[in-house]
Amino acid sequence: SQQGEEDPQALSIQEGENATMNCSYKTSINNLQWYRQNSGRGLVHLILIRSNEREKHSGRLRVTLDTSKKSSSLLITASRAADTASYFCARGTSGGYNKLIFGAGTRLAVHP
Amino acid sequence: EAGVVQSPRYKIIEKKQPVAFWCNPISGHNTLYWYLQNLGQGPELLIRYENEEAVDDSQLPKDRFSAERLKGVDSTLKIQPAELGDSAVYLCASSSIAGAGEQYFGPGTRLTVT
């Protein structure tokens, strides 16, 4: 079963606009990761943020993590049509055995 | 560097038939994962291997699913017999770091059971 929620479930924007996706979780984490999945393709790792980090950047991507609120957000700036995809957050569990638990994803559509 | 390779990409079978999926991880990656992804959902872990040892198969339905990773490289996931509810995408991933580090995914096998 999925643990954690992503919000919104779907997002539709115009090229050039910013897109923000949110992820919440319930238990402690070691890290939180974001992945992208294009139609018909496998998942591609975008960014990993550790539990002791608050913000991380990678190109047009900015990820924040608030462990007190158990939430993370992914911001894509100046979106392009090629950003159209599903975006998944995955929490890396803490404790003796680390595993990734994925959310249900946000489906982003960027219109030219 | 070659990515994770999976075959076949698509498979259509009738219920009660067996089916097998193959995965070749990135060279040098000791950790291999099999995930199940239903439509509109994120991947769910079925089994994780550290070299040739299955270290987490708690989510694998062992009455019909089996997996092996001979010699700690390639892996095969089998379903026998398949049921209608098994229709999904089966993803293989690998990583160089055990645990919750970055994972590299293959394109998946889309299984349709009729």
DSSP, residue by residue, B41-89: S--EEEEEEETTEEEE-TTS-TTTEEEE-GGGS-EEEEESS--GGG-EE
**Tell me: the pLDDT tens digits for A4-35?**
688 999 999 999 999 999 999 998 899 999 99
Task: Specify the 3-state DSSP secondary structure of A110.
Answer: strand
CB-CB neighbors (< 8 A) of A45 in chain B? 102-104
Contact B92, B23 (CB under 8 A): yes
Position of tokens 């894509």? A76
Take residue A15 and report the two structure tokens written for it.
Answer: 């090229």
Q: In angstroms, how far is CA B90 from the centroid of its own chain?
A: 5
> Chain B: residue nearest A41 by CA?
B107
pLDDT band at B2 (very low <50, low <70, confident <90, very high): confident
Q: CB–CB of A97 and B91 under 8 A?
A: no
pLDDT band at B12 (very low <50, low <70, confident <90, very high): very high
Those residues with Cβ within 8 angstroms of residue A52's Cβ, 6 or more apart along the chain or in another chain: none
Q: CB–CB of A99 and B108 under 8 A?
A: no
Task: Report, as an integer, the average pLDDT of B70-82.
Answer: 94
Taking Cα atoms as reference points, which of B76, B31, B79, B37 lies closest to residue B55?
A: B31
**Tell me: the pLDDT tens digits for A64-96?**
999 999 999 999 999 999 999 999 999 988 765
Closest residue to A102, CB basis, from B43, B101, B102 = B43
Number of neighbours of residue B111 by Cβ within 10 angstroms: 20
Q: Which of B8-12, B58-62, B78-82 has the lowest mean pLDDT?
A: B58-62
Task: Report, as an integer, the average pLDDT of B98-113.
Answer: 89
Please give, rounded to a whole number of angstroms, the shortest distance from the CA of A28 to a CA of chain B.
13
pLDDT at A49 over 50: yes
Contact A30, A53 (CB under 8 A): no
Task: Report, as an integer, the average pLDDT of B103-113.
Answer: 96
